[in-house]
Structure 1
């Protein structure tokens, strides 16, 4: 399949439409679709939505990317990861139907996911965009039940545009005529773009700060919309940014007609690896000894700001970063807020990743924003040096979902 990949990725739906037609248009036979786009938080929001719907007794299909440790994570069928046999079978059919034509890895695997969803009984299908929205391979459902746009910020500028306005235009491309959209907290210029497109298409909007509000109060999540007030547990995912994501998930559940019990399940039962995840078992944890070990896959400036807030709110401990990033990311924008809360950074290259930023360059960028920085050949060696010097430290492995996936595989 990888040999079919075009030499240059051009965002277009032509290849997807061709392959969908060859496999009898599974996008037209899906259980009701909830389509999510956004720069940050769409994965966490989708995970909460899934927990809420499953808490209400619904069978939920979910499509997400990228995967962390196994490709199967991308395709969840009625609450369970797709099996090896089912995945192999549906990919074989896609490969045969494609007839050797150029197609990207994401496009052909998205079509495979849509086939699996169409052929498995379910009550809802959650589709998370991979990149942008307007020309994303998931943007092929004519009439979803609901769309959701989580916070938009600068990322993937080589594909989506240099400004928030341009990027918001791409994300807002998932809006469909007459279909309601839940909108999470947005910069003003992004919200203006979404509202203008919604007005053209007659999409009812449910916008944070206008139609719904959420806040933390005395260790509880308070959500309010025109239907009343909900007093809920805080989300099981850590960090103040998860309050925003929770708000979008609850707003979506309310639009879908779910009750308070479903909203409670969304907060209580959600799991989402490598999003400020405390590692508690495994060989890396054993090697950390009495140090705290955390993992996060955020990789853009907004994620850096969010992580800095999370770390700042935790009980005070010496805090050290082990960081590996891709060479396509704004590393300075990511590290600048973290320099305010971290005591040091150890740079690593991401194993087996062609587009990794070399460790020495990551370290240079870290020093440029005021972080004490050094390099290590591997995460394990970086960890060993840090815990030897400071056994009670808080250590965060961060900078890339690809690095996070590698850690989850290593750590079992």
Structure 2
């Protein structure tokens, strides 16, 4: 498959450089593609992708021509730019990126900025009537915030992550994310930590934005994504869709229900197959997501006998807090490297968590662990792979596992 790496700057050379002026200058050079097309912008820490998938599924069911940009991707860059649920063709994206190279050279865009710019160009070419923009990092200086028409802001759960870029406490992180909220927007959020709630309320007061708090959806809603947290994510999506009446669209509840039941988001509590065996995949890669996953395990059959975790965690993540959230006394955890990234190893984890020495093992790859589990007798409940979306993307890219 065409990996486009010749046209996208390397993340390690041109990765996190948060500011808006480059993006605004680049879009100005392009005569602001899609500038008057209204967008739902999705901000937060955990659950953004799930909220986007509910929004996209409902909008597609309603027959609206929606353009969606998300990050990160699992297998292909093309996943990040979709129109009516269909990823951009790789040949189209290659042409877009080639056309944007002079602009990229002029403004020295980051990889994320370049891809968001390509998304706006594609959405204009595809005559999209509504956009869904998932923030990549933060909010105040995120490339998606350069879009001038964001009347609806959907807020996912805000927690501690990317502290090296956004601040080391919840108030600082929430302020950085909430700074994306434009004047007079409608802002939809589920329950948040009190520190986050205070920031959202103060920001919306200053911006004269309409802040709406939503409760998790009732169990009568059939959701296409597994996990209890999805009732909260879907409630935020529902509130955002209802807020569209302010910009001219009214979606019948029956259409929204149909869309929500059809929503799919790979790598999030997803059951897959390795040969004849089943395992779960989940993209949890920070402490709040790990705590959520730890709650989910209570619903798994035989979980009290112990769960086998297969974890790959990037070196800059708070792996100690993640393990403290996930591991119970009868559990085992295999520690793997994240493909292509600096990662935590068993020895480093044991420096902080020496009591886990009998529970932690190490392996060079997922296949090594799976073969070991197969020879020992496949565990119940099925093993769960978590800690990094890069690992999950690598498994799909190499066809190590197949979706159910």
Q: Give the TM-score normalised by the residue count of structure 1.
A: 0.88
State how 1:21-40 maps to structure 2 within 5 Å: 21-29=28-36, 31-40=37-46
Q: Check the 8 A contact 2:268/2:281 in 1, yes or no.
A: yes
Cα deviation 1:255-294 (Å, max 9, x = unaligned):
22322112212321000000010004xxxx10xx44x301
**1:367: how far off?**
5.2
* 1:154 counterpart = 2:160: yes
* 1:275 counterpart = 2:268: yes
Identify which of 278, 289, 303 aligns with 2:289.
Answer: 303
Q: Check the 8 A contact 2:42/2:133 in 1, yes or no.
A: yes
Structure 2 residues without counterparts, runs of 5 or longer: 1-7, 245-249
Distance 1:364 1:243, change over 3 A: farther
Q: Report the equivalent of 2:117.
A: 111
**1:14: how far off?**
1.8
Q: What is the rounded CA distance, in whole Å, between the counterparts of 1:154 and 1:71 in structure 2?
A: 26
Q: Report the equivalent of 1:225.
A: none
Matched residue SS, 1:174: coil
Q: Report the equivalent of 2:216.
A: 214
Cα deviation 1:353-403 (Å, max 9, x = unaligned):
132334543566665557701111210011111232232431111100111
Q: Check the 8 A contact 1:308/1:340 in 2, yes or no.
A: no
Structure 1 residues without counterparts, runs of 5 or longer: 222-231
Identify which of 300, 304, 312 aligns with 1:314.
Answer: 300
Q: What is the rounded CA distance, in whole Å, between the counterparts of 1:60 and 1:368 in structure 2?
A: 51
* 1:9 counterpart = 2:16: yes
**1:326: how far off?**
0.5
State how 1:251-270 maps to structure 2 within 5 Å: 251-256=239-244, 257-270=250-263
- State which drifts further: 115-124 or 131-140: 115-124
Matched residue SS, 2:153: strand
Cα deviation 1:179-200 (Å, max 9, x = unaligned):
1111122111111111111111
**1:166: how far off?**
0.7
Q: Check the 8 A contact 1:346/1:375 in 2, yes or no.
A: yes
Distance 1:94 1:366, change over 3 A: farther
* 1:382 counterpart = 2:373: no
Q: Report the equivalent of 1:247.
A: 235
Q: Report the equivalent of 2:398.
A: 410
Q: Report the equivalent of 2:131.
A: 125
Q: What is the rounded CA distance, in whole Å, between the counterparts of 1:95 and 1:357 in structure 2?
A: 36
Q: What is the rounded CA distance, in whole Å, between the counterparts of 2:164 and 2:293 in structure 1?
A: 24
Matched residue SS, 1:99: helix
Q: Report the equivalent of 1:18.
A: 25
**1:13: how far off?**
0.9
Cα deviation 1:73-95 (Å, max 9, x = unaligned):
10102321100121011111211
- State which drifts further: 338-347 or 175-184: 338-347
Matched residue SS, 1:138: helix
**1:61: how far off?**
1.1
- State which drifts further: 55-64 or 334-343: 334-343
Q: Report the equivalent of 1:391.
A: 378
Q: What is the rounded CA distance, in whole Å, between the counterparts of 1:195 and 1:238 in structure 2?
A: 30
Q: What is the rounded CA distance, in whole Å, between the counterparts of 1:371 and 1:237 in structure 2?
A: 34
Q: What is the rounded CA distance, in whole Å, between the counterparts of 1:354 and 1:405 in structure 2?
A: 13
Distance 1:5 1:332, change over 3 A: closer
Q: What is the rounded CA distance, in whole Å, between the counterparts of 2:384 and 2:12 in structure 1?
A: 35
Q: What is the rounded CA distance, in whole Å, between the counterparts of 1:326 and 1:405 in structure 2?
A: 14
Q: What is the rounded CA distance, in whole Å, between the counterparts of 1:239 and 1:27 in structure 2?
A: 35
Distance 1:278 1:362, change over 3 A: farther
Q: Check the 8 A contact 1:6/1:104 in 2, yes or no.
A: no
Cα deviation 1:159-213 (Å, max 9, x = unaligned):
11111111111111121111111112211111111111111111111113xxxx2
State how 1:148-227 maps to structure 2 within 5 Å: 148-208=154-214, 213-216=215-218, 220-221=219-220
